Structure 1
Amino acid sequence: MPAEPLSPHDIEAGLRDLPGWELEGDRITRTYRLPSHFAAAGLTVHVARIQDELNHHSDLTLGYNTVRLSVNSHDAGGAVTQKDLTLAGRVEAVAPGHGAT
């Protein structure tokens, strides 16, 4: 069953609990800064594992000392759904362990 798009109010409410995440067009996004390229690569691998566990994948970009995520739900016509907020919350929980800010 496809995920249901969230209302703008529900997206805003969900983002209040996700510091640094923001709505950009039809996606939620966040860029993390890390102490080194190695730390950024480690976070990228950790995020990939979470995405596989959830069977929900973001656009994930590794920079020198940054990791950027951008996500929406294709099965909801490219809208933001609870699956996106759940993924963001899981990433928020592990990012500090990699030194991300």
Structure 2
Amino acid sequence: MPSTRELLARKCQHTETALADTELAAYLAAVPGWEAAGNRIVKTYKFKNYYETLAFMNAIAYVIHVEDHHPEITLTYQQCVIKFDTHSVNGGRGGLSENDFICAAKVETVFQQSFS
């Protein structure tokens, strides 16, 4: 079972290997507040105002650019919904890989250090 600290120390790698269903619970435990939703992990972050929401978006943009692993993001006035999945796994049908959890841990750290 990876810890949050271990995920933060890792870098995303090109992968075509999805996590097994038996691994999913262990990885979810390392990223509190994230939930599995089909072939994705999802979390909604809430903010005081639009400025904070945009500031968070800009802060995580750098993280996801460096990792080269890009989520689906929905931004509204006081919230940001982030959905990670890996398109290259399961023969291109998509699913979850360790990369999704690496990025979720890093996004969560940005939020905890700057916005909570």
TM (norm. structure 1) is 0.91
Query: In the TM superposition, what is the alpha-carbon distance from 1:42 to its structure 2 partner?
Result: 0.6
Structure 2 equivalent of residue 9 of structure 1: 22
Aligned-residue sequence identity (percent) comes to: 26
Query: In the TM superposition, what is the alpha-carbon distance from 1:12 to its structure 2 partner?
Result: 1.2
Does residue 1:22 correspond to 2:48, yes or no?
no
Rounded to whole Å, the distance in 1 between the matches of 2:36 and 2:112 is 22
Contact 1:37 1:65 in 2 (8 A): yes
Structure number with greater Rg is 2
Query: In the TM superposition, what is the alpha-carbon distance from 1:53 to its structure 2 partner?
Result: 0.2
Rounded to whole Å, the distance in 2 between the matches of 1:42 and 1:69 is 15
Three-state SS of the structure 1 residue aligned to 2:27 is helix
Rounded to whole Å, the distance in 2 between the matches of 1:68 and 1:81 is 19
Deviations 1:35-83 (A, max 9, x none): 2111110111111111110000000111111011001101113110000
Q: Which amino acid aligns with 2:106?
A: R
Gaps of 5+ in 1: none
Gaps of 5+ in 2: 1-13
Q: Which amino acid aligns with 1:63?
A: T
Structure 2 equivalent of residue 82 of structure 1: 98
Does residue 1:93 correspond to 2:109, yes or no?
yes
Query: In the TM superposition, what is the alpha-carbon distance from 1:90 to its structure 2 partner?
Result: 0.3
Q: Provide the aligned C-alpha RMSD in A.
A: 1.3
Query: In the TM superposition, what is the alpha-carbon distance from 1:3 to its structure 2 partner?
Result: 3.4
Rounded to whole Å, the distance in 2 between the matches of 1:38 and 1:97 is 17
How many residues in Structure 1 have an aligned counterpart in Structure 2?
100
